[in-house]
Amino acid sequence: MMRIIPIASGKGGVGKSLVSANLGVAFAQAGQRVVLADLDLGASNLHLVLGHHAPQTGIGTFLNNTKSDFANVITETDVRGLRFIPGDNEIPGTANLKVPQLKALVKQLMALKNDTDILILDLGAGTHQSILDFFLLSGQGIVVSAPAVTAVLNAYVFLKNAVFRLMFTSFGKSSKARTHLEKLRKDGAGHQKLYIPKILPEIKAIDRESYDRFVGHLEKLRPRLIMNMVDEPKDADVAMKIRRSCEEYLDLKLEHLGIIYRDAIQDTALSSRLPIILYKPQSILSQAIYRIADKILQTDEDTYTLNDKEIDESFQEAGMEAEIDFDNKLEYVEDLLHSGALTQGDLIETVKSQQIEIAKLKKENSFVKLKLTQAMQQGFKA
Ligand SMILES: Nc1ncnc2c1ncn2[C@@H]1O[C@H](COP(=O)(O)OP(=O)(O)OP(=O)(O)O)[C@@H](O)[C@H]1O
Ligand SMILES: [Mg+2]
């Protein structure tokens, strides 16, 4: 069976493409037959992370003529076992695709199952319906977030929209449940006042069949979180906020796949046109990717439902890993110093620039926090 792993975030620029490309390489190295698809149409850049030149043909080529041979847009990569489907910047974005185009694309992606073990979908930012539908192609999508308040909020909002989309599609067109949901939507301020534990009993009372179908689907929805761009161990704590909101307001259990530190080495990897795990497999960043890839490979798709204890453990583990990686990061700097690869002067420069960056981020954060306090209170209470 082909595993589908959609990678989403809500907010842009948090590392979806970095995670997609490097997990793709890691899975291929582990002997899996992997296809990596860039579905961030209109803003495709996954080829850059892979170190490929701007592609001549991509998904857009197929979408412009859905009768054409899909095999033409699948390319080999330098990594054995890893194939790549480039996106397209010529077409105006995933959000603008027509339903027949989306259907044709999904059909072709599903048909990959004959010779593919893992299909990774790098999704665009935002919560447009078509992005949610790609995310819901699988119960085990990954949401990438970062410690910044905006990123956390967007990750939650993305998951909330995904659950509501699932609810909507679970209810038949003229079902009582669908009518009720639409009425709630109209009455309330958008999704603001809707939350699952409140709505479910209402649906159950008026339309048992729709209720059962949705609950059946919701049980299989087990999204997983990656916290990227972490600077220090306590940054990792914000993951708990997303988790709690998901449990309280969405009846959704979120597993923590782990944290990834922010590392300037990624810039060097990018300009060297190599995914970081090929460029520097020993770096803390690459090791974090391998650790996450292992966790994913170890979970058995068919029986994949974590109980409360395992969910708890996944968050504790991520917290511990954050501490360990931080220590390793410091040791790494010490090693560089001893070996002379990094001079005291370099170190002072690095620390200075990091402090400036952190100070800048803190300022930005408190400003955003101020602006968002209200929105958060409403959003998270929803
Ligand atoms: N852990 C990290 N350390 C350092 N740089 C990182 C890290 N993760 C991502 N980056 C950098 O941050 C930028 C954004 O990452 P990336 O393109 O993967 O995000 P994205 O979520 O795919 O963005 P978009 O929404 O634009 O598609 C890139 O320049 C990437 O190299
Ligand atoms: Mg991207």
> pLDDT of 325-352, one tens digit each?
787 777 766 766 776 666 777 667 666 6
Q: How would residue 279 be classed by pLDDT, with cut points 50, 70 and 90?
A: very high
The full length of the chain comes to 382
**272 has a pLDDT exceeding 90:** no
Asked whether 150 and 365 are in contact (CB, 8 A), the reply is no
Find out whether the beta carbon of 262 lies less than 6 Å from any atom of ligand 1.
Answer: yes
Asked whether 295 and 226 are in contact (CB, 8 A), the reply is no
Q: pTM (2 decimals)? A: 0.85
Find out whether the beta carbon of 272 lies less than 6 Å from any atom of ligand 1.
Answer: no
- Which residues have a Cβ under 8 Å from the Cβ of 358 and sit 6 or more positions away? 231
Asked whether 9 and 143 are in contact (CB, 8 A), the reply is yes
Distance 15 CA to ligand 2 centre (A): 7
Mean pLDDT computed over 112-133:
92
Find out whether the beta carbon of 329 lies less than 6 Å from any atom of ligand 1.
Answer: no
**369 has a pLDDT exceeding 80:** no
**302 has a pLDDT exceeding 80:** no
Percent of the chain whose predicted confidence (pLDDT) is above 90: 52
Distance 45 CA to ligand 2 centre (A): 6
Mean pLDDT computed over every residue of the chain? 86
Q: Which atom of ligand 1 is nearest to the CA of 144?
A: 21
Q: Which atom of ligand 1 is nearest to the CA of 20?
A: 18
Find out whether the beta carbon of 16 lies less than 6 Å from any atom of ligand 1.
Answer: yes
Cα–Cα distances in Å, from 28 out to 22, 61, 219, 278? 10, 26, 30, 12
Distance 125 CA to ligand 2 centre (A): 8
Q: Which atom of ligand 1 is nearest to the CA of 230?
A: 1
Find out whether the beta carbon of 263 lies less than 6 Å from any atom of ligand 1.
Answer: yes
Q: Which of 142-151, 277-286, 293-302 has the lowest mean pLDDT?
A: 293-302
Distance 23 CA to ligand 2 centre (A): 14
**146 has a pLDDT exceeding 70:** yes
Find out whether the beta carbon of 44 lies less than 6 Å from any atom of ligand 1.
Answer: no
Cα separation of 228 and 40, whole Å?
Answer: 19
Q: Which of 20-34, 188-202, 303-317 has the lowest mean pLDDT?
A: 303-317
Which helix (H) or strand (E) covers residue 359, if one does?
Answer: helix 344-381
Read off φ and ψ for residue 225, nearest 5 degrees. -110, 140
Testing ligand 1's pocket by substitution, the residue of 36, 266, 268 carrying the most ligand atoms inside 8 A of its CB is: 266
Cα separation of 238 and 113, whole Å?
Answer: 37
Q: What is the structure's pLDDT at 318?
A: 81
Find out whether the beta carbon of 283 lies less than 6 Å from any atom of ligand 1.
Answer: no
Cα separation of 30 and 46, whole Å?
Answer: 21
